[in-house]
Amino acid sequence: MIFEARYRVLFNTILAGGKGVEEGLVQTDSPFCGTRRFGMCYVDGRSEGGVQRMASIGTALEVEDFAHVQDGRILITCKGRERFRILSIVRERPIMIAEVEELAEDEDEGEQVTALAREVADLLRSTIRLNVKLNNLEATEDTLEPQELSDLGPRDLSYWIATFFQDIKVLQQSLLEEDSTLKRLTREKEILSDTVRYYSATVALKSLSTTPGEPAYEPPSSSSSAPKADKASDEPPKEA
């Protein structure tokens, strides 16, 4: 959700040519006009000498869909396209502009990484199902079995699974900075294995404490959301 004035200018500029764009806010002389792309970096809430710390590695995002609402805000849906490293800051205000280099991605083929990706996908399935059961939620089959688990290759799967850790930004950033798909998946396997063990133990304890005559957990019958997969961030975007 975009509401701050300087970001409204930025997004109307990169969305130039799209339906509903506020033409008066479009900077037609900007090299980013109409590109639908911007960069985002993690900003640590802590500060050194009153200055917040910004990660040097971020993600180039592409706006896939957007909508203007009556109060001037812009609702956007984005998808990460590639990682980048900041080389230098060209301008800090009103919008940060940086010189960046795209980071190369490793190969994600081979027996070891493919087998590990299957393990991690199965662990995420278990995590979702246990979370639904533990919280007595309703869930559709699409929630319990996201299409991405079948469609994505090991590398893209590793990045997609990281979106489930949105409440732990430092963890997400460390996964983003990891160059090796194998190492990224290994880290996710460790985290999800711990989560599955915790959820399984909690479900078992709750089942034991169920009052006699009270129904135990039943499989969910219809829709709800388990772990969040939303990529939205509360941090303001940084244009790269």
pLDDT in tens, the chain (240 residues): 666 788 889 999 999 998 888 888 899 999 999 999 999 999 987 666 656 789 999 999 999 999 888 777 889 999 999 999 999 999 988 889 999 999 999 988 899 999 999 999 999 999 999 999 999 899 899 999 999 999 999 999 999 999 999 889 999 999 999 999 999 999 999 999 999 999 999 999 988 876 555 554 443 333 333 344 343 344 444 444
Rounded Cα distance, 14 and 26, in Å: 8
**What DSSP string describes 124-135?**
HHHHHHHHHHHT
- Identify the structural domains of the chain with CATH numbers, from first to last: 5-102 (2.30.130), 111-208 (no CATH)
Q: Quick check: 58 and 173 in contact, CB under 8 A?
A: no
- C-alpha distances in Å from residue 236, one per residue of 19, 24, 153: 24, 22, 30
Q: What is the pTM of this model?
A: 0.78
- Could you tell me where the DSSP H helices lie in 135-239? 141-144, 148-151, 154-162, 169-177, 181-208
The SS3 call for residue 82 is strand
